[in-house]
Structure 1
Amino acid sequence: MTIRYLLCIVITTVLFTQTAVASPELGLEQQRKLFIQAERLAYNPNNSAFKKLMEQLEGYPLKPYVELKTLSKFPFMANKKQIERFLAKYEFSPLDRPLRKKWLLYLDKQNQPELFSHFYRDMGNVTLNCSYADMLLQKDPSSAQAFELAKNLWVVGQSQPNDCDELFNKWQKAGKRSSDLVWKRMSLAADGGNQTLIPYLKTLMPQDQQYLGDLWLKVRRSPSQVSRLSNFLGKYPELETEILVYGLKRLISNNRDLALRSWEKLSSRFAFSLSQQKQISHRFAIFLALADHEQAEFWLEKATSFEPDAELLRWHLAHVLRQNNWQDALDVISLVPAESADNNMFEYWKAQAYEKVGAKELADVGLHKLAKQRHYYGFLASGKLSEMPSLNDNPLLIPKEIIDEVASLPAAQRAFEFRKLGRNLSARREWIFLQTQLTQKQKVTAAVLASQQGWHDQAIFGFSNSGYLDDLSRRFPMPFDSQLQSNAKKNNIDVAWAFAIVRRESSFMPDAASHAGALGLMQVMPGTARYLAKKKIRKNSLLNPNRNVALGTQYMRYLMDKMDNNAILATASYNAGWRRVQQWLPEKGNMPLDLWIETIPYKETRNYVKAVLAYQQIYSQHLGGSENLFKKLANMEIQPKS
């Protein structure tokens, strides 16, 4: 069969499916089966069975995905009208990107600059972006837009595709590649980028500056090189200080004393800018506070003298709280911007500080205000006051016709059909696209709709994104109840705690998979599963809710045993690993639990523990509990390392 004949078939088929009379209505279950059959035949559009299937799929939500498959297979000029019509109809939807990318690659290869420019959109594809900029230069050799695109594509810390070479050559020949841009790219390559670029970039620098490339490589490989003053010749001090700042910021994280000694020497020899001093002081302050270092106070004060941010103030507060300097705590809190995202945390510690300095009335006012709110600090405040937490539950009541209106939208229909077919990734893509098409009120409705469909993860995300947080039964659902109840009982752990872990780990998404490789509802690592089961565990089996919950709750029991039945330490261990958590225990003397949580070095684990504790309280009350778990937590202490 010739290519030309094949292209004609595609045109005929697509046009036919758009003009065919719909077949008698079929049930959705039957159309799902026909859809799967049509997908298999999509690459052979002249097939009579395929034509028949497309007639029968008329009106089925996922029919466009069959058309997408056919057009993506044959993205040629003969199909231009069909492709243009399809891309216009499904612009920005998940149906758009796969076809648009193939179409643009074809147009680029066929040297069709006008059509390429017409269909072009930045999709994060470097090759296509380079082609677009090159086409702009073909039209106008001095195009400012093209040169700006070329600059942005070149000044990155990674290697770019060879397809960009022609564009970069034109950009360079036009005199746009300056030494400053070479330096900027070298800095990006050294600081978190691809360091193998540095030797090449070094050759693009003036001869007397090329030593800086070697210096970048030295410090990238070993930050301790900043302690050797002989490495820094002082020929280009402004550039050398950039390398020094990078090295010092890395060095303070693993060799604090050497970093401090190095700074003392370097600061007397080099003129660091105010911006660089701010960067160094901020980094030094936080890492010294993390380690409770003897110079932490000095650096915290120094960093705070610049424009302090919430993270710096948080660690400054944690440091003075460790020292029981309650008046200093109030002074630090007074510097916090009113709009700070961590305002609840600062309000809680302000109340604690007021109590410690004898201002009990002010302390009570602060605690009562917090206790009316539903979050970790509100629950802590209620625990301090020996009151039941305020859940502020206000379920949404949305008329059926409004819910049906959102449910009838094409993207929603496609998402639900993908779920019926067990294609959860495709379903989520369509649902995420749907959110971009909705008003704020419709987003709340969509969250309710997702909950009604048993799509709990999207309901949870939907309520969070819409800003409506008071529908607790939908935001804190209890699917997989029987599995969690029975396994919690089997492993002698609190079922509300198990629900809280699942809610935080996956939002009840059975097929959740993290970048680190954790899988399923409870985000169990394959290695952990193998250790617990004492045998090899297939990764796919961890996506089975029954197996996943059994192993996840077994792991919770294991951590409780490791942490002397302390559920808070076990919670931190679930996120960070029990060995690391043991390193975070106080060196000597007991530490109040709320303060220990506040000084967990990892922000992710710190927030994780706070969230799980709050969720556990909510689930405890959902399950009929009448106890304020935070009454005990608010007065607990963490014992030192044994």
Structure 2
Amino acid sequence: MPLKSFALLLIVLAGDAAAQPVTATRSELLAAFSAADQGRLDAATAARLSNHPLSGWLLATDLRDRIAKATPGEVRPALERLGNQAAGRWLREGWLRELVKRGDWESFRAAYQGSDDELLRCADLQARLQTGRDDAQWATDARALWLTGGSLPTECDAPFARLAANGKLDNALRWQRLDLAAAKSESGLMRFLAKSMGGSDGALATSYASYMDAPGENIPANWPKDERSRDVAAFALARLGKRDPDRAERILPAIASRLGMDDRQRGRVLYEIALWTVASYSPGSAARLNAVPAVAYDEKLHEWRVREAINRGDDAAALAAIEKMGATQRSDSRWEYFEARLRERLGQSEAARKLYQEAANSPAFHGWLAADRLKQALCLVLAGADLRCRAAQARRRQRGAGTRPAVVRTRAVGAGRARMGRCREGPERR
């Protein structure tokens, strides 16, 4: 280990033992981090800041800048000291990636603690393979990573080749991955998998990939009329619906009929046709939104249906669209407010007033708009407060109506940190 690096590490570790708080000016910290970024952090600065709350980040920054030349003996103590802190996770990731470049699999295994990063997961399989740890658990982990709908880093090539050579990667697993790839429109990966299948399976998989790239009204003769063919066609047409909704709409009926698509599969295509039509404010948006089966609707499309109706001034259609929302979405203060406005414009005053009251219980923008419509105090509540919006609003009304609404503040008393919360979470609603 270089003398400078060893000295810096000892200083930081010794500072932990002293555990005395250290103050530093902003300019001093910025200068120290700037030096660490350039690999010029000196021992005196490290010693002075060794007990600062940011000393871990300072150490990690210095090591990551020099990671290409760092040794396991330098990095290991720092990782042990930082543990699962954010700075430690950041340093560990950089160190693991460097070890992959070096092909230092023993050091990689010593530093690896699991990850969601695909490159590091592939590298872990490679490291275990290279160090003779390709046991039953290794095969299980390799198969789990294999079932990914996108392309994986080259570090996975050798482990997957070993898995196949051991007879533990068959066409059934290849088909499972192809299904995942189709769901992500990864036609390139589908073609890659088709090559390794061979025979009639390979020909069918290639046909699926070709249709994904260029969907048309004609289904290849070798397609079975099964769930996989229906799903592939639906994914392909949904992909087409994003770039050419008109053509996807023309093709869908014939394909759906020939393959026997259900509402879920048809809905996947009709969803994209409707979404990309209404997002462009193109003619026929309302009809396409109404053609989407209820099973395919999500909150985003429900919102677009309301916006489209409001955009063309159809209050009744906009209200009907809100009524079709799920209970959770519809009870949000935003949609309570818009439903109230629509009902008010349609002459349903009493229903509108009740919705305004519900929305006004929320300390959010549309709750404030609702309170303003009712000419009552705005609702701003801190979680844990004894006083709630309704009581504050009652006091506000007693002071006299007609004045401008004011923001009512209630403060939590007692221990604990107060955080923003919703008025409707008061005791009467729990």
TM > 0.5 between the two? yes
Q: 1:193 to 1:299 in 2, by over 3 A?
A: closer
Which residue in 1 is equivalent to 2:349? 360
Secondary structure of the residue aligned to 1:92 is: coil
Given that residues 212 and 240 in structure 1 are in contact (C-alpha distance below 8 angstroms), is that contact kept between their aligned partners in structure 2? no
Q: In the aligned structure 2, how far is the partner of 1:316 from the partner of 1:37?
A: 52
CA distance in 2, matches of 1:87, 1:77: 10
TM-score, structure 1 as length reference:
0.49
Task: Show CA shifts across 1:415-452 (max 9, x none).
Answer: xxxxxxxxxxxxxxxxxxxxxxxxxx55x6xxxxxxxx
- 1:85 shift after superposition: 3.9
Contact 1:191 1:220 (8 Å CA) reproduced: no
Structure 2 unmatched runs, 5+: 381-406, 424-430
**Paired letter, 1:175:** G
* Stretch moving more, 99-108 or 256-265: 99-108
Cα deviation code 1:338-393 (max 9, x no counterpart):
322773343234334544554322223323443564545445546766x4783634
Whether the 8 Å CA contact 1:31–1:57 is kept in 2: the answer is: no
Residue 403 of structure 2 is matched in structure 1 by none
**TM-aligned CA deviation for residue 269 of structure 1:** 1.0
How has the CA–CA distance of structure 1 residues 381 and 212 changed in structure 2, closer, same or farther, with 3 Å as cutoff? farther
Query: Tell me, what secondary structure is at the counterpart of 1:160?
Result: coil
Q: Tell me the equivalent position of 1:87.
A: 79
Q: Equivalent pairs: percent with the same residue?
A: 18
Cα contact 1:39–1:66 (8 A) shared by 2: yes
SS of equivalent residue, structure 2 residue 121: helix
Helix, strand or coil: the match of 2:197?
coil
Count of residue correspondences: 385
Once the two structures are TM-superposed, the CA of residue 270 in structure 1 deviates from its matched residue by 0.8
Q: d(CA) in 2 for partners of 1:216 and 1:126?
A: 26
Look up the SS of the partner of 1:95 in the other structure: helix
Q: Which runs of 5+ in 1 are unaligned?
A: 1-5, 403-440, 445-465, 471-642
Say if 2:333 is the partner of 1:344. yes
Aligned to 1:232: 220
Corresponding residue to 1:143 among 130, 136, 142: 136
Change (3 A) 1:323 1:147: farther
In the other structure, the counterpart of 1:390 is: 378
Q: Which amino acid aligns with 2:256?
A: S
Does residue 35 in structure 1 map to residue 35 in structure 2? no
Q: Which residues of 2 match residues 213-362 of structure 1 at below 5 A? A: 213-222=205-214, 225-227=215-217, 229=218, 231-238=219-226, 239-287=228-276, 296-297=286-287, 300=290, 303-304=293-294, 306=295, 308-318=297-307, 322=312, 324=314, 326=316, 332-340=321-329, 343-355=332-344, 358-362=347-351
> CA offsets per residue over residues 575-616 of structure 1, 9 Å max, x none?
xxxxxxxxxxxxxxxxxxxxxxxxxxxxxxxxxxxxxxxxxx
CA gap of 1:90–1:335, structure 2 versus 1, over 3 A, is: same
- 1:262, CA displacement in angstroms? 1.6
Change (3 A) 1:296 1:347: same
Q: Is the partner of 2:216 in helix, strand or coil?
A: helix
TM-score between both structures, scaled by the size of structure 2: 0.69
CA distance in 1, matches of 2:108, 2:184: 34
Asked whether the equivalents of residues 7 and 78 of structure 1 are also in contact (C-alpha less than 8 Å), the reply is no
Relative distance call for 1:171 and 1:63 in structure 2 (3 A) is same
User: Aligned equivalents of 1:102 and 1:226: distance in 2?
Assistant: 47
Distance between the aligned counterparts of 2:34 and 2:144, measured in 1? 45
The letter of the residue matching 1:150 is A
Q: Quick one: higher RCO (CA 8 Å, sep 6+), 1 or 2?
A: 1
Is 1:131 the counterpart of 2:119 in the alignment? no
Contact 2:357/2:370 (CA < 8 Å) preserved in 1? yes
Aligned to 1:15: 10
Determine if contact 1:130/1:164 at 8 Å carries over to the other structure: yes
- The residue that corresponds to 2:193 in the other structure is 201
Instruction: Map Cα deviations across residues 291-316 of structure 1 (whole Å, 9 max, x no partner).
Output: 57558458626612x37533343344
For 1:150 and 1:32, the matched residues in 2 are separated by: 45
Change (3 A) 1:388 1:202: same
Aligned mates of 2:34, 2:284 — CA distance in 1: 70
Question: How far off is 1:166 after superposition?
Answer: 1.8
Instruction: Output the amino acid matched with 1:39.
Output: A
Partners of 1:281 and 1:77 in 2: how far apart?
55
Residues 448-499 of structure 1: CA distance to partner in whole angstroms, max 9, x if unpaired?
A: xxxxxxxxxxxxxxxxxx64589xxxxxxxxxxxxxxxxxxxxxxxxxxxxx
Distance 1:302 1:96, change over 3 A: closer
State whether residues 368 and 381 of structure 1, in contact with CA within 8 Å, keep that contact through their aligned partners in structure 2: yes
**Structure 2 match to 1:370:** 359
Q: How far has the Cα of 1:245 moved from its partner?
A: 0.8
- Distance in 1, matches of 2:103 and 2:251, equals 58
| Distance change >3 Å, CA 218–CA 35, structure 1 → 2 | same
Kept in 2: contact 1:374–1:389 (CA 8 A): no
Indicate whether 1:97 and 2:94 are aligned: no
Inter-partner Cα distance in structure 1 for 2:335 and 2:61? 54
1:285, distance to aligned residue in structure 2 (A): 4.8
2:427 equivalent in structure 1 = none
Q: Which amino acid aligns with 1:143?
A: A
Shift of 1:187: 5.4
CA contact (8 A) 1:226 1:247 kept: no
CA RMSD of aligned residues (A): 4.5
